[in-house]
Amino acid sequence: MENLDAARLQMAFTLIFHIVFACIGMVMPFFMVVSHYKWLKTKDQLYLTLTKSWQKGVAIFFVTGAVSGTALSFELGLLWPEFMKHAGPIIGMPFSLEGAAFFVEAIALGFYLYGWDKLPEKFHWFTGVIIGISGVASGVLVVAANGWMNAPSGFDYIDGQFLNIDPVQAMLNAAWATQALHMTLAAFTATGFAVAGIHAYQVYKGRKVALHTKAFKIAITFGAIAAILQPISGDLSAKDIAKRQPVKLAAMEAHYNTEKGAPLYIGGIVNAETQEVKYKVAIPKALSFLAFGDFDAEVKGLNDFPEDERPNVPMVHYAFQVMVGIGGLLLLAGILYFISIKKKKWLHMNVYWLLFVFLAPLGFIALEAGWIVTEVGRQPWIIHKIMRTKDAVTPMPGIIVSFYIYIVVYFTLSVAVTWLMTRQIKVLNSSK
Amino acid sequence: MLYVVLFFLIFSLYLYVVLGGADYGAGIVELFSSEENQKITKKTIYRVMGPVWEANHIWIIILIVILWIAFPSYYNILVVYLHIPLTIVLLGVTLRGVAFVFRHYDAIIDNSQRLYDTLFKISSLITPIFLGMVFGGLISGEIVMVEDIETLTFYEVFINPWFNIFSILVGLFFASLCAFLSSVLLIGESESVHENIYIRKAAIATIVVFIVGLITFIYGYGAAHVFVKDFIKNPYSLISMLFSGLLLIPLWIAIKKGRRVLSRFFAGLQVFLILLAAIVAHFPGIIITKSENISLLENIAPESVIKVLGISLIIGGSVILPGLFHLLKSFKMIKILDRKDNPSA
């Protein structure tokens, strides 16, 4: 395997793991403070048990998110030294602010975890709120750096040099707002459904039903609201990409030839050689409408772009289909949940709980697929239209070795964290 | 603004060395303890480090972010030529952090604790050694920078800079410094019956720091290392080292008298002086390669970047530092409460 491919794989895998840990660490504090709030209001012991159990989850995920994030902050340079040499100063601002937000989060977490019965009740609860807010702030800020790779701004690129650098303008790049909104909602959807699914399984098994139903309701409320809002954000993102990165949009839709009133392909098998998409469902003119708000707008096809500036079309197309498909499913499930608040008898049906168990991993699959769309869709560029990924990679050979080491360590870590969570639940179920 | 940025760079380096170092040292102290003392140490570490250890380790992120924003060329050399030890440091940081949390947050206490403990102790020792080796590598004069990397072997370019006697000695020196810091910290945190354990550890660590430091110098001098030679010629470095050594006297008096805040202050000051001596010895040429010295202040980011970074650091610092201070202070308060409520704890 070439060094470039090994480096890309290592980056992809560490990001895939980090994103899961980081999202849970970012969203779970909100569940925790809601449960904590209910405990303070109702003095229902179950909420206290739940809060304390969730806080352990938050602590474990915060740390795994933090250490994998530390690893990433080094890996950016270790794997892509040429990229960081030039991009570092330009996109440093969101990173340094992210560092600050993350610091605030760590401080607040210290107060929260160790503050039970020691800090004033309201202040203690409030430190939990700060954990959540600063966590989301970190996420939003780090997406600004990724947004810049898609929509580079804040500098003049003259004769291979980055001149007149303006870090503020770089941070406020055109892709940031839509990407950050989409990612934040995705984090809430994915974590909401994942946590809800775990508790749904416990209810289905008949263990501590009252406790797990409360937990389920808190988590799914966040997940459902985010899932229902997500299509709006998705539409904003699509329109933005159509303008800024038409080649990415074309790859997402496996749209090879430029046409007016372009159809939207749902599913399908892409043959990159013959440029055919088989077994798809085509909705006439829908792509033009979704991308430009006009049924007859012209959508550029892949063939309008030089061959060495196109991403891997099948991968981007499939990932996009997976993301949108699951997004739609979770939207329906979210609506279903809100109906179930009225139809109380559903809560006694096994199939209701099983449905949410089945949905548990899907949010994260969609979230990862979304990142594949945005990252693979940007290739061959590491900085859109400025620097190619192959020109950024480290000169050190043998990255494949470190890739394997990372795979083993992160895989073990995931197994260990999962195992630890099952032990948490076991203890939770055997508690009084 | 460059000075603001430089200040925060050295400030976060120092805080990482002291706070992160004491944190690593805690694991080293635990590793070199008898089985019974290990249990006591484990408990004490949890109580002392629990609320703050995550914050301690964020300094290295701040450090690395400042480096890549303001000193990109310098950072570039670090990540290209010292890729391997940095990767080992990262794996160490990961395993150590995870082991620390697992051993305190695992809902069921059983045999898996042994695994977490071992992982925690071993990675606590290895990580600072490799961190020290990275620093040693930067100043070792073994980095070879050529346009055409293929003309040299993998070993020459990517291994020798950090895997040489001088760099390894620097690594061992840093690890023993961590153990020293941690022992001094733990003296004040343990219950009075256990204090002697850590006083003994602190004494041993002091001796180890001294011996390893001396060997590093003698070896470096014998091998005609540029850094060591310049260090000895630099009056500021020598004075700093001398003061650092002299501070041992008030430090031991403070320890004997049970003045825990004062003893920590002295230990922290000693480490500051050692760091200062190392930095000024060759400032600003902090990277010493086979052929040249690379100045930290050359090829820095443009003025506009430095300005924005400086402002961000001032704002960030004014939010974080009071919070951090409050955290450290609060939990001291809580510990006092703990003792009152529960005399057996």
Q: What is the DSSP string of A321-376?
A: HHHHHHHHHHHHHHHHHHHHHH-GGGGG-HHHHHHHHHHTTHHHHHHHHHHHHHHH
Q: Do A395 and B149 touch (CB under 8 A)?
A: yes
Does residue A398 belong to the interface with chain B, where contact is any CB pair within 8 Å?
yes
pLDDT of A117 over the 80 cut: yes
β-strands A161-163, B287-288 pairing? unpaired
Ranking A230-234, B234-238, B281-285 by mean pLDDT, the lowest is B281-285
Nearest CA in chain B to A110: B51
ipTM of the complex: 0.82
Q: Do B55 and A107 touch (CB under 8 A)?
A: yes
Residues of B in contact with A66 (CB under 8 A): 54, 57-58, 97
Predicted pLDDT at B339: 43
Interface of B with A in 42-101 (CB under 8 A): 50-52, 54-55, 57-58, 60-62, 64-66, 68-70, 72-73, 75-76, 78-80, 83, 86-87, 90-91, 93-95, 97-98, 100-101
Does residue B2 belong to the interface with chain A, where contact is any CB pair within 8 Å?
no
Residue B258, C-beta contacts closer than 8 angstroms, at least 6 positions apart: none
Interface of A with B in 105-134 (CB under 8 A): 106-111, 113-115, 118-119
Q: Do B61 and A88 touch (CB under 8 A)?
A: no
Q: Do B308 and A95 touch (CB under 8 A)?
A: no
Mean pLDDT computed over B8-36? 85
Does residue A45 belong to the interface with chain B, where contact is any CB pair within 8 Å?
no
Residue B79 has its nearest CB partner, among A62, A81, A115, at: A81
Does residue A97 belong to the interface with chain B, where contact is any CB pair within 8 Å?
yes
Grouping H, G, I as helix, E, B as strand and the rest as coil, residue A431 is: coil
Does residue B115 belong to the interface with chain A, where contact is any CB pair within 8 Å?
no
Residues of A in contact with B319 (CB under 8 A): 100, 104
Predicted pLDDT at B276: 87
Pick from B189, B184, B220, B218: which is nearest to B201 by CA? B184
Q: Tens digits of per-residue pLDDT, A40-72? A: 999 898 999 899 889 888 888 888 888 888 888
Q: Looking at the DSSP assignment, which residues form a beta bridge with residue B288?
A: B293
Nearest CA in chain A to B330: A111
Quote the minimal CA–CA distance from B206 to chain A in Å.
31
Residues of A in contact with B93 (CB under 8 A): 67, 70-71
pLDDT of B311 over the 80 cut: yes
pLDDT of B333 over the 80 cut: no
Q: Do B94 and A394 touch (CB under 8 A)?
A: no
Q: Tens digits of per-residue pLDDT, B248-277? A: 888 888 888 877 778 888 888 888 888 888
With contact defined as beta carbons under 8 Å apart, do B45 and B30 qualify? yes
Torsion over CA of A95, A101, A102 and A106, rounded to 10 degrees?
160
Pick from B98, A414, B289: which is nearest to B90 by CA? B98
Predicted pLDDT at B331: 65
Top pLDDT among B11 and B339 is at: B11
Grouping H, G, I as helix, E, B as strand and the rest as coil, residue A382 is: strand
Ranking A139-143, A221-225, B48-52, B181-185 by mean pLDDT, the lowest is B48-52
Geometric angle at alpha carbon A379, from A373 and A380, rounded to 5°: 170
Predicted pLDDT at B316: 82
Flag whether the pTM goes above 0.90: no
CA distances from A75 to A84, A152, B88, B195, B242 (A): 10, 21, 12, 41, 39
Does residue A352 belong to the interface with chain B, where contact is any CB pair within 8 Å?
no
Predicted pLDDT at B288: 78
User: Which of A96, A118, A412 is the best mutation test for B, with the most CBs of B within 10 A?
Assistant: A96
Top pLDDT among A142 and A2 is at: A142
pLDDT of B305 over the 90 cut: no
Q: Do A85 and B72 touch (CB under 8 A)?
A: yes
Predicted pLDDT at B129: 92
Predicted pLDDT at A223: 95
Residue A137, C-beta contacts closer than 8 angstroms, at least 6 positions apart: A98, A101
Provide the 8-state DSSP code for A119.
Answer: S
With contact defined as beta carbons under 8 Å apart, do A151 and A244 qualify? yes
Q: Do B69 and A56 touch (CB under 8 A)?
A: no
Mean pLDDT taken over chain A:
89
Distance CA A32, CA A25 (A): 11
Residue B65 has its nearest CB partner, among A90, A99, A395, at: A99
Does residue A56 belong to the interface with chain B, where contact is any CB pair within 8 Å?
yes
CA distances from A427 to A53, A432, B184 (A): 9, 10, 38
Quote the minimal CA–CA distance from B338 to chain A in Å.
9
Domain extent listing, chain B? 2-334
What is the CA A119 to chain-centroid distance, rounded? 34
Q: Tens digits of per-residue pLDDT, B167-190? A: 899 899 888 988 888 888 888 777
C-alpha torsion sign, points B213, B216, B285, B71: negative
Q: Tens digits of per-residue pLDDT, A144-190? A: 999 999 999 888 888 888 888 888 888 888 889 999 999 999 999 99
Mean pLDDT computed over A348-366? 90
Predicted pLDDT at B344: 37
Predicted pLDDT at A217: 92
Predicted pLDDT at B127: 92
Q: Do A114 and B334 touch (CB under 8 A)?
A: yes
Residues of B in contact with A88 (CB under 8 A): 68-69, 72, 75, 301
Residues of A in contact with B305 (CB under 8 A): 89-90, 92, 165, 167
User: Which of A11, A67, A134, A418 is the best mutation test for B, with the most CBs of B within 10 A?
Assistant: A67
Residue B75, C-beta contacts closer than 8 angstroms, at least 6 positions apart: A77, A84, A85, A88, B64, B67, B68
Nearest CA in chain B to A416: B102
Q: How many CA atoms lie within 13 A of A310 on its CB side?
A: 20
Grouping H, G, I as helix, E, B as strand and the rest as coil, residue A258 is: coil
With contact defined as beta carbons under 8 Å apart, do A64 and A57 qualify? no
Mean pLDDT taken over chain B:
82
Q: Tens digits of per-residue pLDDT, B126-164? A: 999 999 999 888 888 778 877 777 788 888 778 888 898
Residue A230, C-beta contacts closer than 8 angstroms, at least 6 positions apart: A182, A185, A186, A189, A327, A330, A331
CB neighbour class for A286 (10 Å; exposed up to 12, middle 13-18, buried from 19): middle
The secondary structure of chain B in percent helix, strand, coil, rounded to multiples of 5, reads: 80, 0, 15
Predicted pLDDT at B252: 85
Ranking A251-255, A347-351, B1-5 by mean pLDDT, the lowest is A347-351
C-alpha torsion sign, points A286, A287, A288, A289: positive
Geometric angle at alpha carbon A366, from A365 and A371, rounded to 5°: 100
Top pLDDT among A198 and B303 is at: A198
Instruction: Return the structure tokens found at B29.
Output: 């102290």
Residue A179, C-beta contacts closer than 8 angstroms, at least 6 positions apart: A143, A146, A147, A150, A237, A374
With contact defined as beta carbons under 8 Å apart, do A175 and A150 qualify? yes
Residue A419, C-beta contacts closer than 8 angstroms, at least 6 positions apart: none
pLDDT of B227 over the 60 cut: yes
Interface of A with B in 239-298 (CB under 8 A): none
Predicted pLDDT at A345: 82
Quote the minimal CA–CA distance from A401 to chain B in Å.
11
Distance CA B202, CA B333 (A): 25
pLDDT of B332 over the 70 cut: no
Distance CA A78, CA A72 (A): 9
Residues of B in contact with A82 (CB under 8 A): 76
Predicted pLDDT at B62: 85
Distance CA A407, CA A397 (A): 18
Question: Residue B203 — pLDDT band, cuts 50, 70, 90?
Answer: confident
Predicted pLDDT at A70: 83
Grouping H, G, I as helix, E, B as strand and the rest as coil, residue B258 is: coil
Pick from B130, B143, B1, B23: which is nearest to B81 by CA? B143
Predicted pLDDT at B343: 37
Question: Residue A143 — pLDDT band, cuts 50, 70, 90?
Answer: very high
Longest dimension (CA), chain B: 69
Residue A59 has its nearest CB partner, among B61, B105, B327, at: B105
Buried residues in B97-128 as b, exposed as e (16+ CB within 10 A): bbbbbbbbbbbeeeebeeebbebbbbbbbbbb
Domain extent listing, chain A? 3-246+311-430
pLDDT of A432 over the 70 cut: no
Mean pLDDT computed over A321-346? 89
Q: What are phi and psi of B170, to 5 degrees?
A: -60, -40
Q: Do B305 and A92 touch (CB under 8 A)?
A: yes
Mean pLDDT computed over B230-255? 86
Grouping H, G, I as helix, E, B as strand and the rest as coil, residue B225 is: coil
Mean pLDDT computed over B49-61? 74
Q: How many CA atoms lie within 13 A of A91 on its CB side?
A: 25
Mean pLDDT computed over B192-210? 83
Mean pLDDT computed over A97-107? 85
Question: Residue A267 — pLDDT band, cuts 50, 70, 90?
Answer: confident
